[in-house]
Amino acid sequence: MPGINPDDVRAVLFDMDGTLVASDGAVERSWLSWAAEYGVDGHEAYEMAHGAPSESTVRKLLPHLEEAAILIASARQLELQYDDLSDVTATPGAFEALAVLAERRLPWAVVTSADTRLAKARLGAAGIVAPVLVTTDDIAAGKPDPEGYLRAAEILGADPAECLVVEDAEVGLRAARAAGAHTAALRGLDGDVRLESLADLAKFLGR
């Protein structure tokens, strides 16, 4: 892959939803239900929310609300997600990629736009234990701000320039680039490495 030698990758930072965890159904259901309650377009809300913290999406959708009402609406959106785990699984190739990281002794972290409760619930449903987890509870600004990725790199003791961020949303790729990291992109998005699934990541890092 141009611009990246897999041997130069010192840490891997994963987004969660849509990257390590297949949760599209649960995310969509929660936004459709929430949108119906608040009188906004559910599909627009779902598309806008992809990869971004719930609160920032709520602010864009309901700009007329006062701060207290925004916080209530954001909390309600998260409530709808916490217990909807019936079809949440690991994404294709996820365990294969994590096995390669273990073989190479590469540290890794999850950096997500979910809060800690939701992140632990979804990772648990997928059977994934993250050695380092950075959520919206740990930072002041969510994606596309680079704070989450910079924080994860710091915890892992890695230079952001030697980190590979794996993302499935443009807002997350923007955060990764702002952090100075290399990018691996899913869903046909443009990154330093383009992935069909995490099986491609396993091949890239394991070769």
Looking at the structure, do residues 97 and 178 belong to the same domain, yes or no? yes
Residue 1 falls within a domain, yes or no?
no
| Residue 32, domain extent | 24-82
Looking at the structure, do residues 72 and 142 belong to the same domain, yes or no? no
17 is catalytic: yes
pLDDT digits (tens, 9 = 90+) for 175-197: 999 999 999 999 999 999 999 99
Looking at the structure, do residues 40 and 93 belong to the same domain, yes or no? no
Residue 187 falls within a domain, yes or no?
yes
Looking at the structure, do residues 128 and 55 belong to the same domain, yes or no? no
pLDDT digits (tens, 9 = 90+) for 13-54: 999 999 999 999 999 999 999 999 999 999 999 999 888 899
Choose, from 7, 8, 17, 145, the residue flagged as catalytic.
17
pLDDT digits (tens, 9 = 90+) for 84-141: 999 999 999 999 999 999 999 999 999 999 999 999 999 999 999 999 999 999 999 9
Q: How confident is the model at residue 3 (pLDDT cuts 50, 70, 90)?
A: low
- Name the residue with tokens 């993250």: 130
Looking at the structure, do residues 126 and 200 belong to the same domain, yes or no? yes
pTM greater than 0.85? yes
Choose, from 15, 84, 115, 145, the residue flagged as catalytic.
15
**Alpha-carbon dihedral 106, 152, 130, 194, rounded to 10 degrees:** -60
Tell me, what DSSP letter sits at residue 91? P
Q: CA 106, 162, 152, 119 torsion: positive or negative? A: negative
145 is catalytic: no
Looking at the structure, do residues 76 and 102 belong to the same domain, yes or no? no
- Name the residue with tokens 């701060």: 67
Looking at the structure, do residues 58 and 155 belong to the same domain, yes or no? no
At residue 156, does pLDDT exceed 80?
yes
163-167 and 133-134: which strand pairing? Answer: unpaired
Return the SS3 of 102.
helix
